[in-house]
Chains A and B, each alone.
Chain A
Amino acid sequence: MSLELLLRPVPVHTGSADEDGQLVLADGRLVAVLVRLGDAAHAGLLGAWFLEAGFGPCAQVAPPVFSDLDAAQDWIRQRLGPYA
């Protein structure tokens, strides 16, 4: 059974030109904050989505970068496990 995630757009103060963010909620709880890489400093990663913050099983010492929001959500679902 696929876990339902709720995405809510939110501007994030990252201290850089990356500000376009999404809160990711699962079962009413915040599990991650994703930010779209908009700063030219990111070169080839421009437009990708970054795990700005992860909570619980989504907390990572080395946060990943995702090509798009679908890939990000797939990863988050995987981290959260097979239960809803």
Chain B
Amino acid sequence: MAAMIGLFIRKLEQFGTLSHEERQVIENLPINVRQVAANHDIAREGQRSDACMLLLSGMVCRYRLLQNGQRQIMSFHFPGDILDLTSLLLGNMDHNIGALTPIEVAPIAHATLLDWTERYPRLGRLLWQDTLVDAAVFREWVVNVGRRSVYARTAHLLCEMVTRLSAVGLVHDDVCDLPITPAELADATGLSIVHVNRALQELRSKQLVDLRDTALVLLNWEGLQQAGGFNPGYLHQRVLSTAA
């Protein structure tokens, strides 16, 4: 858990070094770990929350449901990510946040975050930058869902997940713990599950990547990036963690 706070600090420090006092303020945060089961929501559309959640373990997604029951996943989030800075300043949620796996979160009260930003404007700026990176990822998703082919869309999303998981030390020996299902990939790429299955099969047969039940095995990282037309620039990662 201290490791995850450390990870959160490291993510913020991609954009600027925190002062000793600023680091202490984050490290001294009282942590009440909340466990949430898979497929449960931690935030609901239309509701207000009074805390942002720091994701400590597991994977979540932001999503909306259409009236006909179809789901559009709008982003994935990994340990070290803070959810949802938007609610801090905008009030009612305009989307749902759901656990895709069992997760652990540490709530940080809005009042605490607002106090931090008043006392340490630079910390506020770093949180702002984090939200801007979120926005850059959403822009890339617009391109992904709007224009890429079935094959490229699927490859691109897998590249993004590998890159982001790698930054938090969750890729070892070309294998990442990725408990994502084809249905979730489909909802994230605006495709049918049939198209996603076909794309995964093609990626497998071209020996680029193999998505198994709970793991993603990278067979040809360069090839996978080419298949997706992937350029990690939009992730604005300044510091990549070394593998654990």
Which positions in A face B, CB cutoff 8 Å?
14-18, 37, 39, 41-43, 45, 50, 61-63, 65
Contacts and interface: CB of A to CB of B under 8 A. Distances in A.
Report, nearest first, the 6 A-B pairs whose CB atoms are least far apart: A41-B201, A16-B198, A41-B197, A50-B194, A42-B197, A63-B192
Contact of B198 (A41, A43, A61, A62): A41
Nearest to B66: A62
Interface residues of B, number: 11
Interface of B: 70, 190, 192-194, 197-198, 200-202, 204
Nearest to B198: A16
Nearest to A39: B201
A50 B193 CA distance: 10
Contact of B202 (A16, A45, A63): A16
Nearest to A14: B198
Given A14-B198, A16-B198, A61-B190, 17 more contacts: A15-B198, A18-B198, A37-B194, A39-B197, A39-B198, A39-B201, A41-B200, A41-B204, A42-B194, A42-B197, A45-B194, A45-B197, A50-B194, A63-B192, A63-B194, A65-B192, A65-B193
A81 to B, nearest CB: 18
Chain B interface, DSSP helix/strand/loop, else mixed:
helix
Contacts of B190: 61-62
Contacts of B197: 39, 41-43, 45
Contacts of A18: 194, 198
A17 B192 CA distance: 17
Contacts of B194: 18, 37, 42, 45, 50, 63, 65
Contacts of B70: 62
Nearest to A40: B201
A45 B193 CA distance: 10
Nearest to B187: A62
A50 B192 contact: yes
Q: Which of A18, A37, A41 has the most CB of B within 10 A?
A: A41
A78 to B, nearest CB: 14
A36 B232 CA distance: 37
Contacts of A14: 198
